[in-house]
Amino acid sequence: MEFGLSEEQEMIVSTVRSFVENEIYPHEAMVEKTGQVPVELGEEIKRKCIDLGFYACNFPEEVGGAGLSHLDFALVERELGRGSMALNHFFGRPQNILMACEGDQKERYLLPAVRGEKMDALAMTEPDAGSDVRGMKCQAVRDGGDWVINGSKHFISGAEHADFFIVFVATGVDETPKGPKKRITCFLVDRGTPGFEVRDGYNSVSHRGYKNCILYFDNCRLPDAQVLGEVDGGFEVMNEWLYATRITVAAMSVGRARRCFDYAVNYAAERKQFGQAIAKFQGISFQVADMITEIDAADWLTLASAWRLDQGLPANRQIASAKLYASEMLARVTDATLQIFGGMGLMDDFPIERFWRDARVERIWDGTSEIQRHIISRDIFRPLGA
């Protein structure tokens, strides 16, 4: 078994970490205070990322991406996890699901997204359909040769910057032995389409500046050309392309935990109480030992799941395990770091309270911890017929 990174992978890590430290860190305090990313700053980050050759690095070379493997891309996301999500959004990683584009869709959506000419946003979640994706009420019905969509979506990240949206809606119902089961179709919806509106969402304590929006559809009419994948095949498209987003959450959790850990270690080595550095006390040093053990474990679990994808091996359970463990590890590490800092950890003189707040959402989005446990346990028991 080979656990080391190749020379190229070491270069990826070094390049992205340098980018985050030099182009992201300096602006974090401003974004945290204002809750905004100035348009000019976002465009500057995007331009520098394009110049660096890392924009849409999660896409294959044949469509203009960098062609990174799943493992390579996990390394990129791990380093991006060290910085503000509101700013890292402009580093540019379009949704892989756009690889399902066909015909004219490639020229209108896929290629412009890869070149950085357009930005996308993914829309699945609704007020009554979070973990239960098939419980969505936003629906599209046939009207002549078109589809007419009515309903809403919420918690849509990056929507304020998006030029188009990848939207999953119900397009019918099948009767099954387990009860009614909604059919789902994926649509590509341009900003400005009549009957479609993007509104401000909720104020979140996590990832300030990385906003969520609410999408409203009021008799929004779309032709068949806007269907991504097959009609009623949205769930299959979703499962084929979106599972890797859980690796992203896991990898970014590891990166953020490592940055937080560095703060904890340096503070413990410098802060003196009772005549010596607090790192000398087992109450602190043992916490630090537990923290780095958990971070390393989450790191290897994440990279191993990405490696399995590259090898064409089944990885659903391993990816769910990585997302579950890394996100919950981040919560423990940020909480322990805040405890080491004591009262100062809650002050905005340090970014510790921000790391602590930001960590909370990782156990919710892209599949809650409970959903990950369901995926893991189902994978274990299904072969046994249980």
Please name the residues in contact with 315: beta carbons below 8 A apart, sequence gap of 6 or more: 305, 308, 309
What percent of the chain stands above pLDDT 90? 90
Quote the Cα angle for 226-87-297, to 5°: 95
DSSP state for residue 20 in the 8-state scheme: I
pTM: 0.94
Residue 239 above 80 pLDDT? Answer: no
Residue 278 above 90 pLDDT? Answer: yes
Quote the Cα angle for 169-91-152, to 5°: 20
What pLDDT, on the 0 to 100 scale, is given for residue 26? Answer: 98
DSSP state for residue 195 in the 8-state scheme: T
C-alpha span between 255 and 21 (Å, rounded)? 13
Residue 242 above 80 pLDDT? Answer: no
Distance of CA 64 to CAs 35, 43, 60, 76, 330, Å? 33, 20, 7, 18, 34
Residue 355 above 80 pLDDT? Answer: yes
What pLDDT, on the 0 to 100 scale, is given for residue 386? Answer: 87
Residue type at 97?
Answer: I
Mean pLDDT, range 47-67, rounded to an integer: 95
What pLDDT, on the 0 to 100 scale, is given for residue 29? Answer: 96
Higher pLDDT, 386 or 290: 290
pLDDT band at 236 (very low <50, low <70, confident <90, very high): confident
Residue type at 39?
Answer: V
Mean pLDDT, range 15-40, rounded to an integer: 97
The 10 Å Cβ neighbour count of residue 183 is 15
Q: Which position has the token pair 């490696």?
A: 307
**What element of type H or E holds 280?**
none
Half-sphere exposure of 153 (CA within 13 A, CB side): 26
Strands (E), the chain: 120-123, 139-143, 146-157, 164-176, 179-190, 196-200, 212-223, 227-228, 272-273, 276-277
C-alpha span between 80 and 251 (Å, rounded)? 9
What pLDDT, on the 0 to 100 scale, is given for residue 175? Answer: 86
Q: How far is CA 105 from the centre of its chain?
A: 24
What pLDDT, on the 0 to 100 scale, is given for residue 22? Answer: 97
Residue 321 in tokens: 């395990």
What pLDDT, on the 0 to 100 scale, is given for residue 306? Answer: 96
The string of pLDDT tens digits covering residues 325-345 is 999 999 999 999 999 999 999
What pLDDT, on the 0 to 100 scale, is given for residue 179? Answer: 82
pLDDT band at 244 (very low <50, low <70, confident <90, very high): confident
C-alpha span between 282 and 364 (Å, rounded)? 33
Residue 148 above 90 pLDDT? Answer: yes
Per the CB < 8 A criterion, the answer to whether 315 and 308 are in contact is yes
Name 186's bridge partners. Answer: 168, 228
What pLDDT, on the 0 to 100 scale, is given for residue 238? Answer: 80
pLDDT band at 177 (very low <50, low <70, confident <90, very high): confident
Residue 351 above 90 pLDDT? Answer: yes
What pLDDT, on the 0 to 100 scale, is given for residue 1? Answer: 75
The string of pLDDT tens digits covering residues 287-338 is 999 999 999 999 999 999 999 999 999 999 999 999 999 999 999 999 999 9
Mean pLDDT for all residues in the chain: 95
Distance of CA 196 to CAs 149, 152, 167, 214, Å? 9, 10, 12, 11
Residue 227 above 90 pLDDT? Answer: yes
Mean pLDDT, range 228-248, rounded to an integer: 85
What percent of the chain stands above pLDDT 70? 99
What pLDDT, on the 0 to 100 scale, is given for residue 130? Answer: 78
The string of pLDDT tens digits covering residues 92-114 is 999 999 999 999 999 999 999 99
What pLDDT, on the 0 to 100 scale, is given for residue 174? Answer: 87
